[in-house]
């Protein structure tokens, strides 16, 4: 697995509902190992992490919904190219290269 694949895998994993469990586990570890630094700053850090996971989840949901809609359009439109149906399985850099080639 290349570095780009690893980053994609991590990004998808952070969009799973269970990923937010990292926040209370990290909070417990912080409170246990460095209780003298567990203050309002710690709460702000943990809130930022929680918001990041929630935003990642919402963005992933929206992206999956768009993909489902586009997939349906590609299946139903008689002139659509079938090779585009699975383009979302490629790495982002490959998708960008494909778009640049097709735009001229």
Summarize pLDDT for 43-64 with one digit per residue, the tens: 999 999 999 999 988 998 898 8
- Determine the structural domain holding residue 55 and report its residue range: 3-103
Number of domains making up the chain: 1
What's the predicted TM-score (pTM) here? 0.70
Rounded distance between C-alpha atoms, residue 90 and residue 2, angstroms:
13
What confidence tens digit (pLDDT) does each residue in 5-36 have? Answer: 787 788 788 888 888 899 999 999 999 999 99
């Amino acid at each position: 697995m290349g570095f780009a694949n690893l980053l994609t895998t991590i990004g998808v994993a952070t969009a799973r509902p269970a990923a937010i469990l990292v926040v209370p586990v990290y909070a417990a570890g912080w409170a246990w190992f460095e209780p003298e630094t567990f203050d309002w700053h710690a709460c702000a850090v943990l809130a930022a992490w929680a918001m990041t996971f929630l935003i990642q989840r919402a963005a992933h949901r929206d992206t999956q919904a768009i993909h489902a809609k586009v997939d349906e359009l590609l299946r139903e439109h008689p002139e659509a190219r079938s090779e585009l149906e699975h383009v979302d399985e490629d790495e982002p850099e490959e998708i960008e290269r494909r778009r640049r080639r097709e735009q001229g």
